[in-house]
Structure 1
Amino acid sequence: MKTVGIIGGSGFIGSHITKKYLQEGFKVKVSATDISKTEKYQHLKNLPNAENLEILPLKVENKNQLTEFIKDCSIVVHGGTPFQLDVKDPKTELFDPTIKGTENFLEVITEIPDVEKVVFIASVAAYNTNFPMPPGGKQPNENMDETDEPFMSEESHPYAQAKFIANQTVEKFIKEHPNTNFEITSVSPVAVMGKSLSNREDSTSSGLQFLFKNKIAPNPFVQMLFDTDAEFAIVDVKDVANGVYNASLKSGLHGKNYLLSSESWKVSDISKMLNNEKINGNAHVFYKNNSAKQDLGIVFNPAIVPLKEFSN
């Protein structure tokens, strides 16, 4: 039985990834920033094969904890960066745990002989920090894939900037360490939608679906999405889990970063789908998913699937 370590394995996306590896017969380690807050990971213990699950304390800024967590793992999935839109102190809330955590992880991982594969859960922000708006130089009716030049703006949300810089850190590491004993593959999902496996109320992904469904705008960013009827690229959380799993098992993907995206819809139509109402527009594919389909074998669900699962 192989062991996989999933940093961030109890969050919205991470829980589905944890479920996938348990289903496939892996021993799974999941990190908890505060082991005393059992409500954040208790739902994982109800998953099938949970007897093969271990919860360990980990703050990515702590190298000793990172070493303890990663040892004995043949696969490590790094999805432990915070995703939040309301930010008071970008440095301490986003930049430090995202960028410094990535730097620490890359430093530690080179010293663990058992690791065969690392999968980073990056973000569409690795390609476009303007998300959900198009990057500079692109029109909404165009499309983008992994061959396009990544776009970053200092005017973008701090979360997007942090994820862009973290991905650049990974790419720099790969170039400077051409002879590692393990492969690194990244996946960059767009807006991840679907039903949560827990009752946690701190999921930004679930929160956005709730806001779209009920047409609530608690901050200027969400209000802007409603005001402009922005087009939102969506991917099913289950497809992200499958993409991470497949990327971790397939060799020859070192240095690749795959966009995980299904369809793009205007916010007004997303609201209608969440409320089981008739939609007005049509799906558009801005972020092309050909590479993920071909290399990772993903058959992406249309956006209506995760939205209905959340709504129901």
Structure 2
Amino acid sequence: MSGEGKVVCVTGGSGYIASWLIKFLLQRAYTVKATVRNPNDLKKTAHLLALEGAKERLHLLKADLLEEGSFDAAVDGCEAVFHTASPVSLQANADPQAELVDPAVQGTLNVLRSCAKVPSIKRVIITSSFASLPYNGKTLAPDVVVDETWFSDPAVCAEQKLWYQLGKTLAEQAAWEFAKNKKMDFVTIHPVFVLGPLLQPTINSSIEILFNLINGGAQEYPDAYYRSIDVRDVAYAHIQALEIPSASGRYCLIESNVHFSEVLKIVQQHYPTLHLPKKYGFLIILHAHVGPAI
């Protein structure tokens, strides 16, 4: 489907998924209004401006997740909005409620409030996460299928200090409630760890986990499985969520589920001189997440 003559908005435009989404949208002839923290920061935006079609059909606008009305100009005149912007952190936070949870919830609602003012918007697609599905206290066994009907339990997330998961879960719940009240056509995308080539100059959080194992001198690797999907598939899924009229609800994106030992074997095959950890010695709780941020 051609996007010629159609205008869409992408929040968190300089992020990992968003960059590929913008690239594909431009290839399909869409005009894209992308929000970033600072349109004049070429360290964050040069890769977007270099995309084919960017000179003619890409517009960068400043927006702040925590400022209500900040996205009004960006979504005005659009027929669809892709909300990919969300705070992400693998590190311990001094104040996780203020640094992760509140920005995720309020940022999502601020974007939706702006969208609700624009009659031309036909659909809103939000980049959520697999993290908002399985953390609910249910037993995960080989015969248990985690699907789009699952929601993480905020109480379980808070008790286990899973702040990223909590933010994603509360943000999605708030978004569905808002969309229901406003009768908004609404789709959420839930990828696991997102891997693949980078367009932006900095690595995303999913790749950072592998990068730290490879370059951090680790003696052990986690006794855990690495659920992943290619960033280009994630970006394309967002476009499908827009262009297929029957698309609705929640979509889980999972391409592979591999133990860390197998991941490191693949890395070793391609880079035999690397000194990689040879044994597992600890268990970590891996949560799926995306890495875009405005």
Would you call these one fold, judging by a TM-score over 0.5? yes
**Contact conserved, 1:195 with 1:206, CA < 8 A, in 2?**
no
2: CA distance, partners of 1:216 / 1:167: 37
Distance 1:234 1:175, change over 3 A: same
Runs of 4+ in 1 over 6 A off after TM superposition: none
3-state DSSP of counterpart to 1:234:
strand
Q: Which of 136, 139, 164 is the matching residue for 1:137?
A: 139
**Contact conserved, 1:16 with 1:197, CA < 8 A, in 2?**
yes
Report what 1:70 is aligned to: 75
Report what 2:22 is aligned to: 18
Report what 2:228 is aligned to: 234
Q: What displacement does 1:193 show?
A: 0.8
**Which consecutive unaligned segments of at least 5 residues does structure 2 have?**
273-294
3-state DSSP of counterpart to 2:82:
strand
1: CA distance, partners of 2:217 / 2:258: 18
2: CA distance, partners of 1:36 / 1:140: 50
Report what 1:90 is aligned to: 96
1: CA distance, partners of 2:52 / 2:224: 39
* Deviation string, structure 1 residues 170-215 (Cα, Å, up to 9, x no partner): 12223333x34xx1111100011111112225x2123123124346
Q: How does 1:1-312 map to 2 (within 5 A)?
A: 1-51=5-55, 52-86=57-91, 87-129=93-135, 136-139=138-141, 142-148=144-150, 150-152=152-154, 153=156, 154=158, 155-177=160-182, 179-180=183-184, 183-201=185-203, 203-214=204-215, 226-227=221-222, 229-254=223-248, 256-276=249-269
Q: What displacement does 1:62 show?
A: 1.9
Distance 1:60 1:215, change over 3 A: same
3-state DSSP of counterpart to 2:70:
helix
**Contact conserved, 2:65 with 2:110, CA < 8 A, in 1?**
yes
Query: Which gives a bigger RCO, structure 1 or 2 (Cα 8 Å, sep 6+)?
Result: 2
1: CA distance, partners of 2:257 / 2:229: 9
Q: What displacement does 1:141 show?
A: 6.7
Give the CA RMSD over aligned residues: 2.4
Q: What displacement does 1:149 show?
A: 5.3
Over the matched positions of the two proteins, sequence identity in percent amounts to 27
**Contact conserved, 1:184 with 1:253, CA < 8 A, in 2?**
no
Partner amino acid, structure 2, of 1:97: P
Q: What displacement does 1:26 show?
A: 0.6
**Contact conserved, 1:213 with 1:272, CA < 8 A, in 2?**
no
**Contact conserved, 2:22 with 2:32, CA < 8 A, in 1?**
yes
TM-score, length-scaled by structure 1: 0.77
2: CA distance, partners of 1:33 / 1:56: 8
Give the length in aligned residue pairs.
Answer: 263
Distance 1:185 1:71, change over 3 A: same
Partner amino acid, structure 2, of 1:46: A
Partner amino acid, structure 2, of 1:28: V
2: CA distance, partners of 1:199 / 1:216: 23
Partner amino acid, structure 2, of 1:7: T
**Contact conserved, 1:6 with 1:31, CA < 8 A, in 2?**
yes
**Contact conserved, 2:151 with 2:169, CA < 8 A, in 1?**
no
1: CA distance, partners of 2:221 / 2:162: 17
TM-score, length-scaled by structure 2: 0.82
